[in-house]
Structure 1
């Protein structure tokens, strides 16, 4: 078996509309067309080929923390991302610099999923 790349990340969310506002308006992810499944959901573009799939009707709470289950999105500038999040009144942890020089900060979506925003150090 040869793994070619990551296709999508799927998150089970309580309220698809609330999550769509977060991922579309806070993280500026472009919405995608979604097949007509028989359950609520939405899709967003994460990168050139990667996607985020939101699946609705979650009932249980999400219990997460930055050192636990999370996914990371690469941004051009963590300080600029932090400034934009502040303007949008979105709480975050960081920014902080890792021992390898990479900057990161962490946010939570409306369901409590942890998302790392990171940038690669200049080469």
Structure 2
């Protein structure tokens, strides 16, 4: 009986609660990356990961938007450059379906890769069997590439 009363109260009261007081769902839509030279960075992400460029709303030559899949975008923003501190712990991760193909593409484009400890041209294998490598983009940002695709 108490359960039925509680359910009836919830059904009656719930529509009266303003929607802005109810829990809001959030989602990630894009990742913004501060870059020194827009064309250089845009070319890197388009050539290495084959991310297609998408409409850029600012039309000022200082922004580029790339489709990185799963309804997500990479927003590259050129601004007056100030030295930054880059650490491998802070990284973006892209999963690929074929690690051999991405490694061949890195080599073809002259991009060095390494494992987590920093051994050049080595692949790290996580405890769960996922292969991963790390590269740096033209501004030094770390990117993990793994085959968890």
Q: Quick check: TM above 0.5?
A: yes
* Bigger fraction of residues in strand: 1
- Count residues with an aligned counterpart: 119
Q: TM-score, normalised by structure 1?
A: 0.86
Whole-angstrom CA distance in 1 between matches of 2:85 and 2:140: 7
With a CA cutoff of 8 Å and minimum separation of 6, indicate the structure with the bigger relative contact order.
Answer: 1
Among candidates 83, 107, 118, match of residue 61 of structure 1: 83
Q: TM-score, normalised by structure 2?
A: 0.73
Structure 1: gaps spanning 5 or more residues: none
What is residue 113 of structure 1 aligned with on the other side? 141
Which structure carries more helix by proportion? 2
- Higher Rg of the two aligned structures: 2
1:1-123 to 2 correspondences below 5 Å: 1-3=24-26, 5-36=27-58, 40-66=62-88, 68-94=89-115, 95-120=123-148
Whole-angstrom distance in 1 between the partners of 2:80 and 2:46: 20
Deviation at 1:26, TM superposition (A): 2.1
